[in-house]
Amino acid sequence: MFNVKKVTEDLVEWIRNWFDENGKGCNAVIGISGGKDSSIVAGLCVKALGKDRVIGVLMPNGEQADIADSKQLVEFLGIQHFVCNIKDAVDGVLKSLTDSSITPSEQTRINLPPRIRMSTLYALSQTFNGRVANTCNYSEDYVGYSTRYGDAAGDFSPLGKLTVREVLEIGRFLGLPKNLVDKTPSDGLCGSTDEDKLGFTYATLDAYIREGVCKDDETKARIDRLNKLNEFKLKPIPSFEPNPNDL
């Protein structure tokens, strides 16, 4: 049984302790998409550090249909925030590729914006004495549903070991706006929902992660395949270890 009160309290304490050890007095810098994960991470950081030490960054790529959700969240929490439109940066990189006779793949076009967003977050973090929050959850990470060196990057990860179901419970426990916590999850990149793109629901995935139960063999095989293909994303960069006698 998920003890949302205890886990939330422990999470808040963990964030507070992490900053004491890795950035005493620093600010939490969070990319605010308007979805559940960034909203809940921001809410947790406000609880742990106080709203004066949390900075929200809204990063539309040109026009963002749900930008009002991001604005709702920062206003609800009362945190300082900035809007940094990444369209020119994204277009500039794509143009430099095409100018070099390179045709970017569709996956390149999809994953470039989150990587530009992460660069933007670190630019603000260095400017405002910050530490960048990773907003991925365990369910997404388990099947590689994140962009390497994009939203998968960050300095600390409050939700990295919690499934979507557990994250949702925390959001409700924090009293965050219901429309943000229960918003249909979408990557905001290709126009599809997360579940459409994955081919299964988060409820199915979470049950498999926590209980090892998946009634559909085809879905189980797909989850296992995605987990195997993407497990490298969660590991440190491999380093060659030379023989000490050869040095």
| 68 inside domain | yes
Angle between helices 4-22 and 164-174 (to 10 degrees): 90
**Structural domains of the chain, count:** 1
| 93 inside domain | yes
Mean pLDDT across the chain, nearest whole number?
Answer: 95
pLDDT of 186: 66
pLDDT of 193: 82
- pLDDT, tens digit (0-9, with 9 covering 90-100), for 99-143: 999 999 999 999 999 999 999 999 999 999 999 999 999 999 999
| 51 inside domain | yes
- pLDDT, tens digit (0-9, with 9 covering 90-100), for 168-225: 999 999 999 999 999 887 655 556 788 888 999 999 999 999 999 999 999 999 999 9
Residues in the chain: 247
Q: What three-state secondary structure class fits 82?
A: strand
Distance of alpha carbon 85 from alpha carbon 82, whole angstroms: 10
134: domain CATH number is 3.40.50.620
| 210 inside domain | no
| 127 inside domain | yes
| 192 inside domain | no
Nearest to 183 by CA among 198, 197, 193, 173: 193
Structure tokens at 186: 């979408």
| 156 inside domain | yes
What percent of the chain clears pLDDT 70, i.e. is strictly above it?
A: 98
The whole domain housing 167 covers 4-185
